[in-house]
Structure 1
Amino acid sequence: MNDNHTPEHEDRDDAEVTAALPIDDREDTLSLDRDELEQSGASPEDPREGPQTYAPPAPGAVPAGRPAPGYAGPSSYAPHNGPSTHAPGQQQSAQAGQPGQFAQPGPSTGLPPTQRPDAGQHQGMGGYGPAGGYGPGNTAVLAPQHAQGPGQPPATRTRDTKVLPGWFWPVLCAMTLVLGLMGGALGALVIDKTNDPTTSGRTNGGLADVTTVTDAPLPKDGSVAAVAKSLLPSTVQIIAESSGEGATGSGFFLDKEGHVVTNNHVVASAADGGKIQIVDHKRKRHDATVVGRSPVYDLAILYVEGLEDVTPASLGTSADLNVGETVVAIGSPLGLDSTVTSGIVSALNRPVTTGNSQDDQSYINAVQTDAAINPGNSGGPLVDLEGRVIGVNSAIATTGGGLGGESGNIGVGFAIPIEQVITTADQILKNGKAQYPVIGAQVQSDKDGRGAKIAEVMKGQPAEEAGLKKNDIVTALDGRAVTDSPSLIVAIRAHVPGDTVTLTVDRGGKEMELKVELEGQVG
């Protein structure tokens, strides 16, 4: 039957009235129609044959199978073709089909959203399905209940359906309303007792918004938020200016007297005659002076005079760290002060070489992390979840094949272990300078990758006294594997002058152990 066709029937009004009557009244009406037909000698018509009547849809309703006026179907979201890269700070204009923008409307189902068979269906509640449904434009047609005459078999129904009395539905609606009001009152009582701020949520059925309660919790110990709250007052931004050029970095208060720890490369350009300032967490600037520097360890100590209410950072230990632990980096990357990032410990005792020349080259026995570290983070603290500084952020790996601060974060950053920081800071605060340990030999990496090859032994130095010879290959220090010359230098500099270390040496295929007492040099 065409949805746009109105069947011609002289009893249209009667049919519409009949369809609108309760079931019991319809039975009486249909029975009466049959009696009248029997008296007139006419045969009863099966309403299922020939043109069927239907109740016209309400104003504004749309017949099934036809879209509502102006409805073009559900908008299709074009799939993204894959990740795209953008230069930092560059914003790409949106185009159709990219995330964040809807494409042109796609194929329509032919039904408005409220009339699609799947619209409004929720798990746990029975919807009106396509069969036997009461959807718009589909009016149920009741078959007449045939009266049983003498000698006729009992009338049977095609479905074993129990006819409900007309008063049943109003009573059911009333009961549902009462239960709903009771449930709403109970829910309001529960919400009132919680006395908490509210957020909106949905039930599993998705029927209506339900008020849920959650307090915005204070930062707990062991969270990044708690670490940030604890360490931000101790962290500073550092600005170094010399000859019209400037550099920025980070640092943190070592004590209440106003001493600040940072990297040497942050202040080196302004250490002799330049201007150095710190910016505290309240964004106030203060002049600072250099107490001492150690290019070898890439560390420097500054002093800020006249500060009050200084909050020094709590110091921990890197010796207790495990790979996979969460750590937090705090500093001023790209000049953005008080920036907090987090990640994990990616590796320990990573030999790292920084610096662009022999004079400023540093060897770090580094803590590696994937916490975002960028130019400007240098000198800032790397912190564990107990709020203790376990390292000083110093370098990042770049895709260009070097270590430094000219490229952005790629998830490979390095920090100087706090033990080395404390040792160097103590020396600088006591003497204005720091020492580092040496063995008195020049080394190079073995071409076969077996270890660090002794290229030259200096006269009267610890290496000569211990019996080291040219072309010896050092494969371990105190049991720690040595794979090349940087790993040997880093292992040595993890100690202090005066320590005695054991070197495992390969001499012409013969392995031996030699004990060497480390000597100190200023640097």
Structure 2
Amino acid sequence: MRWAVSGTDWEALNVTDGWNWRQPGGTPAPAHPPVRAGQPVPTTATGTVRGGPSTDAGAPTAGSPWWSDALTDPWRDPYAPAAVVLQAPPVGGPGEPEPVRDPDAPTGRRLGPVFLISLVTALLAGMLGGALGYAFAVRGGVGGGTTLGAPPGEAPVAAQRRPDSLAGVAARVLPSVVTVRVSGRGGTSVGSGFVASADGYVITNDHVVEVSSGRATVTFNDGSTAPATVVGKDPESDVAVIKVSRTGLRPVEFGDSEALAVGDPVLAFGSPLSLANTVTAGIVSALDRTIRAGEPGGTTRYYAAIQTDAAVNQGNSGGPLVDGAGRVIGVNSVIKSLAADAEEAGNIGLAFAIPINQAKRITQDIIDTGKARRTVIGATVGDAGSGAASGVRLSAVEPSGPAAAGGLRAGDVILRLAGRPLEEPSDLIALVRKHAPGSVVTVEYRRGSDRQNTSVTLAADVK
């Protein structure tokens, strides 16, 4: 940089002790750089005065109003502020170039925020890790004071069961279900039953109490026991009634077996294989499945059963089959099994229950009279009609019986009773006994080649 002062050029030189001035050719200059008149004296970064008025002879002074660097720099604005601040010499000693930094490299000023952010992140991570570690320690039983289970008052929604749920129905019905044990000449028979009245009448199967000498023991849902006596039974319908020496019992609610539809949900209760208070679930698989059961040489049982796929095994006999509302719609009685031996029989998804409308009617008869009325049509059945699955032929008709009153004669082939098709002689017997005495049913029959319909009023036969 060159300056012109009163026709004399001065040069600024960088020496080890600061900025000095000289004339071209080597004449030393004053120790302070020139400044414009009236301008403040410039300082270095450390506050050292480098300019200002000078007493050195021949050097430009701060009070010289007549000098201008425009004499040597014609492009410079003569009216711009002209205070010249000379920066401090670079660090590193004479002759060393000023260090150059990568503009993308972090500087000392940038490390502060980065360090602060890192510190805050580390603190937050530590707090989170501590909280999670404490939670895992508490849940896993590490450390002191392990808490098991949910806090009081926060039971899972599944535990808040509605009364119409399966669990709600089971809770309502189980107190009315009993286990029946009977000892006799053939050993001990174990079955199930259910309370039909508050004064102690219990419904069960005839084959559960058939070995009894008139005495039985009943075990309730709560484990208490009571003696019972056999009031009466109807072997052909497989229904029996026993009386418990206890009052204040909780009876079941009866449903309507005629209102069932295939696919309705059902629950089966009882003591299968002596496992008391067992509940299984299924659906109604079929209706009016005619059953002809019994041991060879023993009593043959007929009824139009409710078929279900609810698991029913030995010991369930006599227990209730209930609908989705907890109302009894059947009495579990028979199972189909692949085993030839009855002792080894097990459930294969085919179980049968006596319709409750029939079982309830027989129970009422036994309680009222000690005997059950049997519904009859007043005819004797023979072989099926000509052709497979074409009906049931009447081999004889009682002159004063219901069939004769309806116009039926021996030799007629009954095709349908109350809309149900007949294929086997047992079908007619089972479907007739399903109805109460006095019921009027429609009968479709064939006489020769003619198909005809008639109405028959069923009657009762007491044996």
Pairwise mapping of residues 371-410 of structure 1 onto structure 2 (< 5 A)? Answer: 371-400=310-339, 407-410=345-348
Number of the residue aligned with 1:435: 373
Pairwise mapping of residues 333-344 of structure 1 onto structure 2 (< 5 A)? Answer: 333-344=272-283
User: 2:449 aligned with 1:514, yes or no?
Assistant: no
1:333 and 1:370 map into 2 onto residues whose CA distance is 15
Residue ranges of structure 1 left out of the alignment (5+ in a row): 1-161, 190-194, 200-211
Letter of the 1:426 counterpart: Q
2:184 to 242, 250, 253: 242
Partner-residue secondary structure (3-state), 2:197: coil
Change (3 A) 1:274 1:320: closer
Number of the residue aligned with 1:321: 260
1:246 Cα shift? 1.4
Change (3 A) 1:472 1:336: same
Number of the residue aligned with 2:173: 231
Provide the aligned C-alpha RMSD in A. Answer: 3.4
1:351 Cα shift? 1.3
2:426 to 483, 486, 489: 486
Letter of the 1:269 counterpart: V
2:202 to 257, 260, 277: 260
2:336 and 2:240 map into 1 onto residues whose CA distance is 22
Letter of the 2:391 counterpart: G
2:351 and 2:209 map into 1 onto residues whose CA distance is 20
1:275 Cα shift? 3.1
1:223 Cα shift? 2.1
2:389 and 2:214 map into 1 onto residues whose CA distance is 44
1:163 and 1:422 map into 2 onto residues whose CA distance is 96
2:408 to 451, 455, 468: 468
1:411 Cα shift? 0.8
Give me the TM-score of the superposition, normalised by structure 2. 0.66
2:269 and 2:283 map into 1 onto residues whose CA distance is 14
1:216 Cα shift? 5.6
Is the contact made by 1:197 and 1:215 (CA closer than 8 Å) also made in structure 2? no
Identity in percent:
38
Number of the residue aligned with 2:439: 499
Give per-residue Cα distances to partners, 1:362-398, cap 9 Å, x unaligned: 2122111111100110000111222211111011111
1:479 and 1:296 map into 2 onto residues whose CA distance is 24
2:284 and 2:308 map into 1 onto residues whose CA distance is 5
Give per-residue Cα distances to partners, 1:381-420, cap 9 Å, x unaligned: 1112222111110111112589x77511111111111111
Change (3 A) 1:174 1:426: same
1:499 Cα shift? 2.2
Letter of the 1:429 counterpart: I
Name which of structure 1's ranges 175-184 and 341-350 shifts more when overlaid on structure 2.
175-184
Give per-residue Cα distances to partners, 1:333-372, cap 9 Å, x unaligned: 1111111111111112211222125752121221111111
1:302 to 234, 242, 251: 242
Tell me how many residue pairs correspond in the alignment: 342
1:252 Cα shift? 0.6
1:319 Cα shift? 2.6
1:175 to 106, 110, 121: 121
Residue ranges of structure 2 left out of the alignment (5+ in a row): 1-103, 136-146
Give per-residue Cα distances to partners, 1:99-134, cap 9 Å, x unaligned: xxxxxxxxxxxxxxxxxxxxxxxxxxxxxxxxxxxx
Give per-residue Cα distances to partners, 1:75-110, cap 9 Å, x unaligned: xxxxxxxxxxxxxxxxxxxxxxxxxxxxxxxxxxxx
2:379 and 2:270 map into 1 onto residues whose CA distance is 38
Number of the residue aligned with 1:280: 220
Name which of structure 1's ranges 217-226 and 329-338 shifts more when overlaid on structure 2.
217-226
2:106 and 2:324 map into 1 onto residues whose CA distance is 67
Is the contact made by 1:196 and 1:213 (CA closer than 8 Å) also made in structure 2? no
Partner-residue secondary structure (3-state), 2:427: helix
Is the contact made by 1:451 and 1:483 (CA closer than 8 Å) also made in structure 2? yes
1:459 Cα shift? 4.0
Number of the residue aligned with 2:29: none
Change (3 A) 1:497 1:226: same
Give per-residue Cα distances to partners, 1:256-297, cap 9 Å, x unaligned: 100000001110111xx3531111122222221111111121
2:364 and 2:196 map into 1 onto residues whose CA distance is 11
Structure in which a larger fraction of residues adopt strand = 2
Q: Computing the radius of gyration over CA atoms, which structure comes out larger, 1 or 2?
A: 2
1:384 and 1:489 map into 2 onto residues whose CA distance is 26
1:346 and 1:432 map into 2 onto residues whose CA distance is 34
Partner-residue secondary structure (3-state), 1:371: coil
